[in-house]
Copies of this chain bind each other. A is one copy, B any other.
Amino acid sequence: MNEDGTLIQSNSRSELRQLVCSQLQLLLEQSNLEGAKALLVPVQPVDIAEAIESLPESMQVIAFRLLSKEEAIAVYEHLDSTVQQALIEKFKQQEVREIVDQMSPDDRVKLFDELPAKIVRRLLEQLSPEERQNTALLLGYEEDTAGRIMTPEYISLKETFTVNLTLERIRRLAITSEVVYYLYVTDASRHLAGIVSLRELVLSSPETTLDEIMTRDVVYVNTNDDQEEVAKIIQRYDLLAVPVVDKEQRLVGVVTVDDVIDILQDEATEDIYALGGVQSDGENYFQTSIVTVARKRVVWLLVLLLTNTVTGTIIKSQVHVLEKMAILTAFIPLLTGTGGNVGAQSSTVVIRGLNTDDMKDLTTKEVVIREMLAGVLLGLMLGTLATIWAYWLQGNWSVSLSVGISLVAIAILASVAGSALPFLFRSLGLDPALMSAPFITTAVDVVGVLIYFSIARTILGI
């Protein structure tokens, strides 16, 4: 971009990142530490973290020690937890203390969640009293709640403060505080009374007091609120951070928008995996062992195997029909396949709708009726085509009509089941995404085959 080349451009950014990775390894192999240090100066912490992760384990500590103290902490926070652990074991006592003490409390808690309890105890002892208290506070809340992901390092002020006094206070506190764009005003018993943005502060005259400019209608969350709920609130109200209060309604922390983006991303991944019939538990699928991968997948497959045995048993009970009219078999995959696909479509849109705001204007009944009507429409279109194709394939109108009529019935049934079951699951207090597409697919198979044989036997008079 400009002559000294310090600006990082988006187009070539991923290539640039790969270049940094390979250059870093090369320089370290040549023991050119000064060169490596110079290489990393204009690079963003998250990109340095990626470069360090790509190094052979023996070089990771060496690369890490090239960083300035401040940068080292930022980089460490961005490392994968496995690399964080490996480094902790190689660090000297002093390094451990400096880095872990300076990490932001929410990232530190994430690391502690992964480390063996013994190491966590040792690390806790080495923390400064204040950081130890912060960490213990966060560890006291359940996983995936607002309390666990918040940072207790916010700036809280009294409403009698003037703008000038406040700015002075910020200058003193901002170095240790992660969040400075919103300032929180609390009363004598630490109850949240209002909020002032740094923007408003800068725009106000120095002698104004905070109670004149603060917003009293504060959107906030409770420590035990689910992190997904917190993410939705930040998204809905376009916030940069949301304050967290405890049971006694005292301000205890703040959740920031950058954490929320990652949460929304992870929750979307979870939904997508559930729809694909893969269990997810927050671990990165691609960093787990093959055995874990098989474990995450086998549960659903076993359930589906079981359902398919039912379909098989039904077909077995109709073998006498098939022995008279073997050609009926040719249309089983068409019917079960289409039924499964129509059902999967309905359940996909409904499950996503339940997890976002998209469906807010409709009642359960309206949604199911909409899907049913769509099922009728789709069934009629596909049924007509299937009848024609079936006739062309085997030249018997009775068989063709059985196929066509069955397809219409199956499409309607699949739409209704696919849209209604997620609601049912939710009203039972279960995750609607459990009602995943593969489940619908297989459930519709069973009923679809039954419908097909009934209709065929009626029409063919077998």
Contact = CB atoms under 8 A, between A and B. Distances in A.
A331 interface: yes
A171 B13 CA distance: 35
A382 interface: yes
A424 interface: no
A30 interface: no
Interface in A161-212: 167, 170-171, 174-175, 180-181, 191-193, 198-199, 202-203
A269 B352 contact: yes
Given A312-B333, A315-B329, A203 B171 contact: yes
Interface in A41-87: 42-44, 46, 50, 53-54
Interface in A275-301: 275-278, 284-287, 290-291, 293-294, 297-298, 300-301
A198 B200 CA distance: 12
Interface stretch (A31-39, A109-117, A335-343): A335-343
Contacts of A347: 276
Contact of A6 (B217, B336, B338, B370): B217
Label chain A's interface by main secondary structure: helix
A189 to B, nearest CB: 11
Contacts of A431: none
Contact of A10 (B9, B193, B225): B225
A393 B219 CA distance: 61
Interface residues of A, number: 139
A236 interface: yes
B7 A236 contact: no
Given A334-B308, A336-B333, A377-B290, A276 B316 contact: no
A323 interface: yes
A309 interface: yes
Contact of A199 (B9, B180, B322): B180
A341 B319 CA distance: 26
Contacts of A180: 199, 202
Nearest to A230: B10
Interface string A358-400: 1111100001001001100110011001100100011000000
A25 interface: no
A308 B342 CA distance: 14
30 contacts: A1-B192, A1-B245, A10-B219, A10-B230, A42-B216, A43-B217, A46-B237, A54-B361, A170-B202, A174-B203, A180-B202, A181-B240, A268-B268, A268-B271, A272-B272, A276-B348, A278-B349, A286-B349, A286-B359, A286-B362, A286-B370, A297-B342, A297-B374, A301-B382, A304-B338, A309-B393, A315-B330, A323-B326, A337-B441, A337-B442
